[in-house]
Amino acid sequence: MWKVSLDGGFGCPNRDGSLGTRGCVFCDPASFSPSRRSVSASISAQLEEGIRRLGARYRVDRFVAYFQPGTNTYAPVEQLRALYEQAIAHPKVVGLAIGTRPDCVPDDVLDLLSELAGQTWVSIEYGLQTIHDRTLDWMNRGHHYEAFLDAVQRSRRRGLKVGVHVILGLPGESRDDMLATARELARLEIDSVKLHNLYAVHNTPLAGMVARGEVRLVELDEYVGLVVDFLEQLPPSCVIDRLSGDAPPEYLVGPSWCLDKPAVRAAVEAEFQRRNAWQGRKISLAAGLARRIGVC
């Protein structure tokens, strides 16, 4: 199976004035998805094009409809129903993934997703980035960690799969801070995680901070170490959907290494081998220690 990215034309409360107008410090919507750089077609047309292109490239014929750019629950529930049902009606679509903010999932939207989960596989992906409120404030996120916990709890009560987006290398966060985020996701038994390195794109507050020397973007070796540290804390049952993030070269300020995703993945795999480590290693070690202490 492969994910087909779909643009439902959704906005963001952190840009339209509901919460703010500046958005997150790293955010330029046009840099996140090709659909934001051209006139969006209908959901059906986007699906057909994505299925044609991805099917030929990867030799797959089953797809997950992935509402990716924007806040994909930020609309009246009947508007959402029409878009989601249009996507899952395609005979080659076997699942639905929804990317959104944790402060934009009212109960009626989660009820809709729960209903659709009776028809197909459904996952809701929350842009968390970090569990630390001080960092969320720095990035002008517009919500705190409590909003994420509430969203996860209400999603889980409806039996929904929950995915989480996390950024590694945020200013002011130590390695221990980042690993605290990993341990919390493990405690919550999150179903999937997407890891992103902090990168800067033009025409954002973050780009200005980087230019003035106020923010340092991590180098590849440092990032690879953080990724492996992070994954050692997550249970093997947690699906890792992404190891790094990037932007089109014409948008990217840095770091340039993130443009080569195969190289990042190879470096992460090499670091696992060097350490003789694996995803969930720290959990396994802690469980083994607890058993030994119990025996004593």
Q: Please give the model's pTM, rounded to 2 decimal places.
A: 0.91
- Beta-strand runs (E) in 75-185: 93-100, 121-129, 161-168
User: CATH no. for residue 15?
Assistant: 3.20.20.70
Q: Give the pLDDT confidence score for residue 36 in this predicted structure.
A: 45
Q: Give the pLDDT confidence score for residue 202 in this predicted structure.
A: 95
Domain range holding 273?
2-295
Contact 100, 83 (CB under 8 A): no
103/288: higher pLDDT:
103
Q: What is the mean pLDDT of residues 80-103?
A: 97
Q: How many domains does the chain have?
A: 1
State residue 164 phi and psi, 5-degree precision: -140, 140
CA distance 131 to 185: 9
Query: Which one-letter DSSP state was computed for residue 219?
Result: P
Of the candidates 56, 67, 54, the one whose C-alpha atom is nearest the C-alpha of residue 9 is 67
163 token code pair: 């995915």
CA distance 29 to 26: 10
At 229-288, the pLDDT tens digits run 999 999 999 999 999 999 999 999 999 999 999 999 999 999 999 999 999 999 987 766
Q: Give the pLDDT confidence score for residue 20 in this predicted structure.
A: 82
Of the candidates 140, 166, 126, the one whose C-alpha atom is nearest the C-alpha of residue 23 is 140
104 token code pair: 């934009």
At 156-208, the pLDDT tens digits run 999 999 999 999 999 999 999 999 999 999 999 999 999 999 999 999 999 99
At 9-39, the pLDDT tens digits run 999 998 888 888 888 999 887 776 555 445 5
Q: What is the mean pLDDT of residues 85-91?
A: 97
Q: Give the pLDDT confidence score for residue 288 in this predicted structure.
A: 65
